[in-house]
Amino acid sequence: MGNKLIVGNIKMNMRFGEISNYLNQFKNVNNKNLVICPSYIYIPYFLNYNFSVGSQNVCSFDVGYTGEISARQLSSIGVKYVMVGHSERRIKLNESDIDINNKIRASLHAKMKVILCIGETLEEFKLLKKDSVIKRQIRDSLFNVSDLSNVIIAYEPVWAIGTNKVPSIEDITSTVIYIKQLVKQMYKQDIKVIYGGSINEKNIVNLNKIDILDGFLIGGASINPNQFLEIIEKIS
Ligand code: PEP
């Protein structure tokens, strides 16, 4: 198995009756670099397999918010990763960089690894604002975070999510280099960067040739176990 991180974002998919069939397909998988992020309610069913489990979100605070789930609670049942700042949450739920910063600090405090999603919208891309958006998201989301060893950045151009549009290999490579250099400059630390956006079992072959990438975040294609397993096989 390779060392690339593979994150599956199942989003709000699957009814309870579909969970056991999904999980059955993963019973022979032995890869701790594979992180599957189901909805909160299904997390307990995903534990105790030979892959890691991640949460799609977390509360910014440890107590006091009815209906929320804290990093401490997630960590206490064995969740190892937390996805923070997904564009669907930033855009549709108005999640701010300050919210994201609070979520990151709560998660790191609870000893979890954070997958920080960043990326520009189509409009920002067209207005050539990609680099400045990325810079702002990194600076504000990671404000006062001193140790980045448990933070992974997921570069997900918003216009590539669920659209079957993928940036060119050259564009992904240069953006990942930009992110790594920026973090090095700002924090004097190295950071892992993964790519997400319309990955499928075909385009993964070329995407996997980008050496500088530390892994992939897969949304739609992670819902179908056969398709997801084919992608995992091609990465590993
Ligand atoms: C995502 O939502 O994080 C994602 C990468 O989705 P998709 O693979 O469907 O583009």
In this structure, what CATH number is given to the domain that contains residue 224?
Answer: 3.20.20.70
Note down the domain range covering 12.
5-235
Would you say the CB of residue 220 lies under 6 angstroms from ligand 1?
yes
What is the length of the chain? 236
Atom 2 in ligand 1: which residue has the minimum CA distance?
Answer: 219
Q: In this structure, are residues 111 and 211 in contact, taking their beta carbons and an 8 Å threshold? A: no
Q: Which residues contact 160 (CB under 8 A, 6 or more apart)?
A: 119, 166, 167, 196, 197, 198
- The pLDDT of residue 216 is 98
Q: How far is the CA of 71 from the centre of ligand 1 (A)?
A: 23
Dist. CA 191 → ligand 1 center (Å): 21
Ligand 1 centre distance from Cα of residue 97 (Å): 20
216 Cα to the center of ligand 1, angstroms:
10
Alpha carbon nearest to ligand 1 atom 1, residue: 219
How far apart (Å, rounded) are the C-alpha atoms in residues 176 and 173? Answer: 5
Binned at pLDDT 50, 70 and 90, residue 2 comes out as low
Active site residue 156: yes
Selected catalytic residue, list 18, 68, 156, 201: 156
Alpha helices in the chain (DSSP H): 16-24, 43-46, 71-76, 87-92, 97-109, 122-126, 130-141, 169-187, 204-207, 225-235
Measured CA to CA in angstroms, residue 167 lies from 2, 30, 122, 157, 231 at distances of 24, 31, 12, 8, 18
How do residues 29-83 score in pLDDT, each as one tens digit? 999 899 999 999 999 999 999 999 999 999 999 999 999 999 999 999 999 999 9
Give the residue, by CA position, lying nearest to ligand 1 atom 7.
219
Nearest CA to ligand 1 atom 4: 219
Into how many domains does the chain fold? 1
Closest by CA to 47, choosing from 9, 18, 6, 76, is 76
CA distance linking residue 85 with residue 83, whole number of Å: 7
- In the DSSP assignment, the letter for residue 60 is S
Beta carbons of 222 and 9 less than 8 angstroms apart:
yes
User: Does pLDDT of 104 surpass 70?
Assistant: yes
Question: Cβ(196) to ligand 1 under 6 A?
Answer: yes
Share of the chain above pLDDT 90, in %: 98
pTM of the model: 0.97
Active site residue 120: no
pLDDT band at 1 (very low <50, low <70, confident <90, very high): very low
Please enumerate in sequence order all residues whose Cβ is within 8 A of that of 164, keeping only pairs 6 or more positions apart, or say none: 198
- pLDDT interval class at 236 (50, 70, 90): confident
